[in-house]
Structure 1
Amino acid sequence: MVYLVILSCCPILTAATYIGPDAVRTYPIPSGVETMDAYSIKVTPPQGSSHWIQPFQARVAQINETSGNSIEHNTSVGLFDFSGPIEIAITYHHAAVRTGVVRPYSYGIRPQIINNTIQFSLQHPCNLVIQINDNIFDTLQLLMNPIETKVTRADDPDVLYFGPGLNNGTAGIINGTLHVPSGKTVYVAGGGFLDAQVVFQNVSNSAIKGRGILAAKSSGAVLIESSSNITVEDVVILNPNGYAVTAGMSQGVNILGIRAFSSKGNGDGIDLFCCRDALIDGIFMRNSDDNIALYQHRWAYYGDSSNITVQNSALWADYAHPINVGTHGNTPHPEVMDGVTIRNIDILNHHEPQIGYQGCIAINAGDGNLIQNVHIEDIRVEDFQLGQLVNFRVMYNTKYNTSPGRGIRNVVVKDLIYEGNHASPSLLLGYDRQRPITNITFVNLQINGKMIDNNMEKPSWYSSADFVPLFANEHVHNLSFVSN
């Protein structure tokens, strides 16, 4: 039997993460979580015995374009920890395997398929989607962590500990809500299932961490308001009835290594409102609305945003945008979003029939917002279903805005690669002479292997943007395509 060895599918992890060779750690499926039988998963370290991973159920959504209703689908999730290398054998039981792929494609994993079993090897933990016969719903999301080296103790006075099982902890959950004080960490152990909204309000130096599952069946999963130095790390957020993570008017928010699934309406992944110094790193999101949304004023959130980084992540948007910047703001007292970095992202899907809400990466300034100094780099976009590659607009969407935005300026998009044939033309639309888009530079933009450059070989009367294709209106100034 031959296995492919992948040197690294998650380069942000290092050897220092691991406690020793050939270690695999699995967790029981807690009560309240449905199991799935579409896939069998066997994990084998070179010098050890095999481990069988029991998949559990997540729900994902498909839009009914006639009624607008959501069509929900069951999908499979496998979760375990390891220190490499390991060999993985996955058997599919619902149909004969004609094709099988491992995504993101950028990881370079080309599995061997023997009958109905897909086999490959890994050196490091990462998050993968196993897709059989081009079915995007009956997939296996394989979520892997490095083995924890620091033991979190249940008797630590600074820890609100939830062990294996349903709500297996002593911290008080009141009406489905767990309020976290300053200086405390909620820890959900592997095999643990916490059905509550975890709330950080007017606190500092607090966290939720662990290898367990956070559900919040009656609300959004994590709410951060008017707080500082808050960390959300590693937990799997499973089908909350709202956003996976909401942060408003907060500073020093770190969202690290989480994985989230949603299927309900307004099932956003991570939404930040008026936040500063925020880091989103190493996540996997599959949601029924925007995976990541960076907003200004809405509801009771006010103030400028600055220094926000999204990196090293994989995004799958069954509805709406993988990344959405702008939209909401404060017309009477206009706000600024300054300094957004988006880098090393794999976009696995984008499916949005509404033209006004398309864009794998959307920057849409409304409500008097000024969005400036945005750096986007190392973005790999796979062949998504329906939508645009990018959509940058100064807009007045009367459903959500009370005025147009002020402008978008100083945006660099570097090393964006798209391989596919389903993208509609991208749009760059300034609003008017007073509300333009200025200084937009695409560096090393590749569309199906073709480098888009102002000096590319083309008919002299063509625009380089035609080869994206991308339309920019008369209120877009200093748009350039360069390569280096």
Structure 2
Amino acid sequence: MNDAQSTGLSRRTLLQAAGATAAAYSLIGAATGTARADDAPASADKLVVYPIPSGVPTNSSFSVKARTPGGEWQTVPVYRARAKQVDANTGSGPVFNSSVATFDFSGTVEVSVTSAKGAIGAARIRPLSYDTKSTVDGATVSFTLTEPRNLSIEIDGEIFNNLQLHANPIETHAPDPDDPDVIYFGPGLHKTTDNVVKVPSGKTVYLAGGAVLTSRVEFVGVENARLIGRGVLYNSPSGVLLQYSRNIEIDGIMVLNPSSGYSVTVGQSKQVTVRNLHSYSHGQWGDGIDVFSSEDVLIEGVWMRNSDDCIAIYTHRWDYYGDCRNITVRDSTLWADVAHPINVGTHGNTDKPETIENLVFSNIDILDHREPQMDYQGCIALNPGDSNLVRNVRAQDIRVEDFRWGQLINMRIMYNTKYNTSIGRGIDGVYIKNLSYNGTHANPAIMVGYDADHAIKNVTFQNLVINGKFIGNGMKKPGWYRFEDMMPAYANEHVVNTRFLTSTEATSTTKPAITSPDKATATKNQVFNYLITASELPTSFAAEGLPKGLDIDTATGLISGTVRDNVGSCTATVSATNSVGTATQTVTFTVEHA
């Protein structure tokens, strides 16, 4: 299938479709120094601002400017996003306008945000963990950034009519518009006749900064393909559909106000990386990223503000079948206006039970969670139903801010008759390390097994801190209290071997044993993910002799990157360490041609 058939437009037609907008963009770039993102060294102070095409809704609640130190101020256009809140009394869902601005920069950038409402009483910039210093002068809040950030600027406590700012890294190695393997959308508003762009194997869809596409992007039964750039999928049906595919990369785009469905669906696929995605939804069942029956998936650096689950991980649903394993979510910010920031386990296969295993959630800020229904609460929800077994889950360095309504944690073996046809098989092995919550709105957390045969086993909390108070061994509490009482949380008799440890206590009395495969196959010049897994709750990981282009996250054991090594095989030594000792294993990495 050629490019014209796959999109309804040829690459050259796509470029021509940008028309006057593209020409205007070139003039703007020439005048302000924003024409190309990769003209200057990454270490230099540089700012790239992209226009919003005519016909795409903007918002006037804020005026945003940015500049490099000593440079001229540049106007940063503001998109109109939509956000939803459920009325707990009626079930209706009022929708509010919100604001989103984006630019690229390197070095240092100064930002000025002016509220159309006038004088600012107080300004808050979140995530709070960034501790972004700002000054307020009348109706303007100003601050300086020295590294990429995804931020919410909130004036006088307003969380709907707020400004979400995506200060991205400078884009490098943008593809050539005339590359035959690139489906190129230049600046401007783009529509396709059937509202779908089908991506063939080996192709890259590139949304340039200032490009807005109203179509769904589909990767179906393909491999070695990408969707990259700084453009926007706006009002598209279901955002990105990725199914039955391998070696797929999504990087840098925004999914804004999808007309239906999820922002990104990953179904029965392998070797998928979703990076620096920004997602906003306001529709019913407006999930962010949902992963079904897939393996070796990395989600990193994303910002998700959604009207349903931000990140959901399941096995079988619809036409997706099989286990789900080796899923990593890291360095991200989650904001659920409805339902869960993180939800695992609801959907599965009663006839042929499946397993969800080896999940890692690391370095995550949860800004909000609001869910009136008890069945769907939990900033972190592990709720296996449909005969699913959930095992080997690691959640570490998770910072939860004062959400509006819900629970910090909800672990239940489910039989939700609305969605399930059988009871979940259980939860076995959950390690929650460095989880902190500061707030007053959390309902008691819940950990409930269904019965003795469908239980929750081997849950370890290490350095759990709630409102500044550590929960665990060594804390002062009445002797007849359980740690769950101090959390507070309810745990029934079918929750077995739960531990609450200090930050320095040993996680095990036995050294680890590595359980991940001793062979892995990568494709040259394609994204690759390999998760080291091991028993006995390792606290660090290492690897030596990896193929070129791959790095290891020593905190989680994820080996990831784009393989640059020559075709062939090499061996590497991977290791997992806890306080008792270190386990090693030789892994053979085979690199294939695309």
Alignment partner of 1:189 is 2:203? no
Instruction: Choose which of 57, 60, 70 in structure 2 pairs with 1:34.
Output: 57
Where 1:379 maps in the other structure, the secondary structure is: strand
Q: What does residue 176 of structure 2 align with?
A: 153
Q: What stretches of structure 1 move > 3 A for 4+ residues in a row?
A: none
Q: What does residue 227 of structure 1 align with?
A: 245
Distance in 2 separating the partners of 1:208 and 1:151? 12
Contact 2:42 2:107 in 1 (8 A): no
Instruction: Choose which of 119, 124, 128 in structure 2 pairs with 1:105.
Output: 128
Q: How many residues align?
A: 463
> Aligned-pair distance for 1:18?
5.6
Give the counterpart letter for 1:194 in structure 2: L
Give the counterpart letter for 1:128 in structure 2: L
Q: What does residue 64 of structure 1 align with?
A: 87
Q: 1:331-370 counterparts in 2 under 5 A?
A: 331-370=350-389
Distance in 2 separating the partners of 1:453 and 1:65? 35
Distance in 1 separating the partners of 2:43 and 2:438? 38
Where 1:60 maps in the other structure, the secondary structure is: strand
Q: What does residue 119 of structure 1 align with?
A: 142
Distance in 1 separating the partners of 2:495 and 2:204? 47
Instruction: Name the CA shift for 1:18/1:346 in 2 (closer, same or farther; >3 Å).
Output: farther
Q: What does residue 54 of structure 1 align with?
A: 77
Larger of the two Rg values belongs to structure: 2
Q: What does residue 402 of structure 1 align with?
A: 421
Give the counterpart letter for 2:355 in structure 1: V
Q: What does residue 14 of structure 1 align with?
A: none
Q: What does residue 454 of structure 1 align with?
A: 473
Name the TM-score, length of structure 1 as normaliser.
0.94
Q: 1:284-323 counterparts in 2 under 5 A?
A: 284-323=303-342
Contact 2:100 2:165 in 1 (8 A): yes
Distance in 2 separating the partners of 1:73 and 1:404? 38
> Aligned-pair distance for 1:95?
4.5
Contact 1:130 1:140 in 2 (8 A): yes
Give aligned-pair identity as a percent: 50
Alignment partner of 1:465 is 2:484? yes
Q: What does residue 262 of structure 1 align with?
A: 281
Where 1:30 maps in the other structure, the secondary structure is: coil
Distance in 1 separating the partners of 2:235 and 2:115? 30
Distance in 2 separating the partners of 1:18 and 1:416? 38
Contact 1:73 1:137 in 2 (8 A): yes
Give the counterpart letter for 2:290 in structure 1: D
Where 2:353 maps in the other structure, the secondary structure is: coil
Instruction: Choose which of 92, 107, 120 in structure 1 pairs with 2:115.
Output: 92
Alignment partner of 1:163 is 2:194? no
Gap regions ≥5 residues in structure 2: 1-39, 505-594
- Comparing 277-286 and 145-154, the one that deviates more: 145-154
Distance in 2 separating the partners of 1:48 and 1:327? 52
Q: 1:412-451 counterparts in 2 under 5 A?
A: 412-451=431-470
> Aligned-pair distance for 1:338?
1.2
Q: What does residue 249 of structure 1 align with?
A: 268
Name the TM-score, length of structure 2 as normaliser.
0.77
Contact 2:150 2:164 in 1 (8 A): yes
Distance in 2 separating the partners of 1:250 and 1:76? 34
- Comparing 67-76 and 41-50, the one that deviates more: 41-50
> Aligned-pair distance for 1:20?
4.2
Gap regions ≥5 residues in structure 1: 1-16
1:334-393 Cα distance to aligned partner (Å, 9 max, x none): 000110000000000000000110000000010100000000000000000000000011
Where 1:106 maps in the other structure, the secondary structure is: helix
Contact 2:174 2:229 in 1 (8 A): no
Instruction: Choose which of 199, 217, 221 in structure 2 pairs with 1:180.
Output: 199
Distance in 2 separating the partners of 1:298 and 1:151? 36
Distance in 2 separating the partners of 1:55 and 1:84? 23
> Aligned-pair distance for 1:40?
1.3
Distance in 1 separating the partners of 2:161 and 2:57? 15
Contact 1:60 1:287 in 2 (8 A): yes
Where 2:439 maps in the other structure, the secondary structure is: coil
Where 2:404 maps in the other structure, the secondary structure is: coil
